[in-house]
Amino acid sequence: MGIQITPSILNADFARLGEEVSRIPGADWVHVDVMDNHFVPNLTLGPTMVEALARSTDLPIDAHLMIEDADRNAAAYVEAGAASVTFHVEAAKAPVRLAREIRAGGARASMALRPATPIEPYEELLPELDMLLIMTVEPGFGGQRFLDLCLPKIRAARAMLDRHGIETWLQVDGGVSLETIERCAEAGADTFVAGSAVYSADDPDRMVAELRAAAEAVRA
Ligand code: DX5
Ligand code: ZN
């Protein structure tokens, strides 16, 4: 798996989202943060907006669902055209069934862990997933400080994936910037979400390229 850079539009201008996405043509995915004001104390957008965004760009949509009752609510995002759908394991009653339903709907299935959620109980689930997301901030807001305490979990997850010989991508999200991306890449992440780092840059697409170069340099 090569390095993938996935800008989050959470800190973009929500009144001009289509335009904002067109500022990152060099990205691999667009990361869309769905928040319901219950699972996290913030409210963003739902399937209607995801569908509109999917229509407005050639980039695939990486939907990160920070919502309760993921078992019932995730399907709407597959139908809306998200190419990857991430649910939080803390919000899913039947993560195996849910991952299979997402895959059956034609999207990549991904599972996220909050900073305090350990990876070890989920080792046997990894082959069911196309991507594992290890949060490096408490989900809810962009612009928070990267939590170094999550690095050992990234390393542990990388070791598990290698041991099982599976292709599941390992994504990090939260506080990823030119200052922190090398630590994540060194720990074994291959897919990087960056929100404020990209959208607070004068040239977001150039920042995507710089983040990619920094992560690739660690790999080399
Ligand atoms: C946080 C979201 C992130 C957020 C990242 O709950 O899941 O995707 O937008 O923003 P930064 O990169 O600013 O931490
Ligand atoms: Zn996110």
Asked whether residue 191 carries a pLDDT value surpassing 80, the answer given is yes
Q: Which ligand is nearest to the CA of 8?
A: 1
Closest atom of ligand 1 to 64 CA is 7
Active site residues: 33, 173
The per-residue pLDDT for range 121-143, each reduced to its tens digit, is 999 999 999 999 999 999 999 99
What does the angle CA 29 – CA 155 – CA 109 come to, to the nearest 5 degrees?
A: 40
Closest atom of ligand 1 to 143 CA is 13
Which residue bears the tokens 């030119």? Answer: 178
Find the 145 Cα to ligand 1 centroid distance in Å: 10
CA 196 to chain centre: 14
Asked whether residue 1 carries a pLDDT value surpassing 80, the answer given is no
Residue 132, strand partner residues = 111, 170
Asked whether residue 82 carries a pLDDT value surpassing 90, the answer given is yes
Which residues form ligand 1's pocket by a CB distance below 6 Å? 8, 10-11, 31, 33, 64, 137, 139-144, 173-176, 193-197
Top-level CATH class of 4-219? Answer: alpha beta
If you average pLDDT over residues 138-166, what whole number do you get? Answer: 98
**Rounded distance, CA 49 to CA 172, Å?**
24
Q: How much is the mean pLDDT over the chain?
A: 98
**Selection from 10, 23, 51 nearest residue 194 by Cα:** 10
The two three-digit tokens of residue 130, written as one number:
């196309």
If you average pLDDT over residues 179-195, what whole number do you get? Answer: 98
Find the 114 Cα to ligand 2 centroid distance in Å: 11
pTM tops 0.95: yes
pLDDT computed for residue 137 by the predictor: 98
For atom 7 of ligand 1, the residue with the nearest CA is 139
**Rounded distance, CA 172 to CA 220, Å?**
19
Closest atom of ligand 1 to 176 CA is 12
Phi first, then psi, for residue 20 (nearest 5°) are -60, -40
Asked whether residue 177 carries a pLDDT value surpassing 80, the answer given is yes
